[in-house]
Amino acid sequence: DPRPFESALKQAEAVLARDKTQQLNARAELARQEKLLQKGFASEDIRDQARTASDVLSSAIKADEALVNNAKLQLEYCYIHSPVDGRTGKHMVDEGNIVKANDLPLVVINQMKPIKIKFTIPQSDLPKVIEKTKTDKLNVQAFIPGNHLAPSKGVLSFVDNTIDTTTGTIMLEATFSNEDARLWPGLFVDIIMTLDMQNDALVIPTNAVQSGQKGTYAYTVKNDMSVDYRLVEVERIVGDETVIKSGLNIGEQVVTDGHLRLTPKSKIKIKDSSSPSKEKPVKKESEEK
């Protein structure tokens, strides 16, 4: 019930107003005694008494102001305000329920705009992240699985100070404006963080790359529909795509499935467009890493 605190605030404000009025009168009396002293019509003792009265009221006003501020604070405690701008969940109490400090939460409020996403990266990528953040902001994209809309865009805002020794990863945090409110607390998303841009990268599907006794290889498709065993050197793997450093040429087709049934010069048949294709052309593009 805020009424007792409202009354206390009004009383404190009234005392402050009274003392300010008395101070104006005390200052006027001090000024009058100063003039009389200069003309020899008043003694220094009377002037000093007037000055003391003015100083006492100045100190009283400071005390009154402190009481007013305290009364305002006590009144504010009668109302609950959220420290963040967010979205409320289900309320835990109803109007009329008795609540007290350090009791069960009344409601959970999650900040939506902006929103932060935590994710981890291998410790081997940490030097690249640190180096990049020295000169520029790192862009981060969040993809919602099963959602074909454009990714939400944010920036890296935090790097943890400790590597998790059990997983060999470090926790990062990115901030998204989330103006369209697509990102929700607890939502699982796929994260892409651009560390660098490599132009004219030779890229093939990751499932086209295999490991054998001689090393990493891929099967290419010749004009006569036979396959050729080709050793390749992998520069980098980025999700479903692999950057090839050497061993393949632009435009060559590679086999993406059924490698265990193939041998060099085996004949294959390309399935029509209604079936999943097992061949993919080697392409050259700008590769983000």
CA distance 128 to 194: 11
Q: Residue 258's pLDDT is what?
A: 83
Q: Is the peptide bond before 151 cis (omega within 30 degrees of 0)?
A: no
Sheet holding 139-143, edge to edge: 115-122, 169-176, 152-164, 139-143, 190-193
Q: At 130, phi and psi to the nearest 5?
A: -60, -45
Mean pLDDT along residues 126-152? 90
- Going by pLDDT thresholds of 50, 70 and 90, the confidence category of residue 12 is very high
Mean pLDDT computed over every residue of the chain: 87
Q: What letter would DSSP give residue 151?
A: P
pLDDT at 1 over 80: no
Sign of the Cα torsion 28, 32, 38, 42 reads: negative
288 assigned to some structural domain: no
Domain of residue 146, CATH code: 2.40.30.170
When divided into structural domains, the chain yields a total of 3
For residues 186 and 219, membership in a common domain is answered with no
- Of the pLDDT bands very low, low, confident and very high (cuts 50, 70, 90), residue 279 is low
Percentage above 70 pLDDT, the chain: 94
159, part of any domain:
yes
Q: Is 212 found in the same domain as 189?
A: no
156 falls within a domain: yes
Query: Among candidates 114, 185, 119, 111, which has minimal Cα distance to 158?
Result: 119
Provide the pLDDT confidence category of residue 143 given band limits of 50, 70 and 90: very high
**pLDDT(103) > 80:** no
Q: Tell whether 172 is covered by a domain.
A: yes
* pLDDT in the model for residue 139: 92
Q: Examine the domain organization and report whether 238 and 258 are in the same domain.
A: yes
What burial class does residue 198 get, using C-beta atoms within 10 Å of its C-beta: 0-12 exposed, 13-18 middle, 19+ buried? middle
| Predicted confidence (pLDDT) at residue 289 exceeds the cutoff of 90 | no
Which residues share a beta bridge with 172? 119, 159
Task: Output the pTM of the full model.
Answer: 0.56
- Nearest Cα neighbor of 182 from 161, 205, 152 is 152
Burial of 112 (0-12, 13-18, 19+ CB in 10 A): middle
Specify the pLDDT at position 280. 62
Domain extent for 221: 203-267
Residue 78 tokens read as 């009668």
Considering the domain architecture, whether residues 6 and 61 belong to the same structural domain is answered as: yes
Q: 54: helix, coil or strand?
A: helix
Mean pLDDT for the stretch of residues 237-260 = 87
The pLDDT score that the predictor gives to residue 58 is 92
Q: Mean of the pLDDT values across residues 39-64?
A: 90
Of 78, 106, 139, which residue sits at a domain end? Answer: 78
pLDDT band at 281 (very low <50, low <70, confident <90, very high): low
pLDDT category of residue 75 using cuts at 50, 70 and 90: very high
The reply to whether 132 falls in a domain is yes
Confidence of residue 183 (pLDDT cuts 50, 70, 90): very high
pLDDT digits (tens, 9 = 90+) for 78-92: 887 888 888 888 888
Q: What is the pLDDT of residue 18?
A: 94
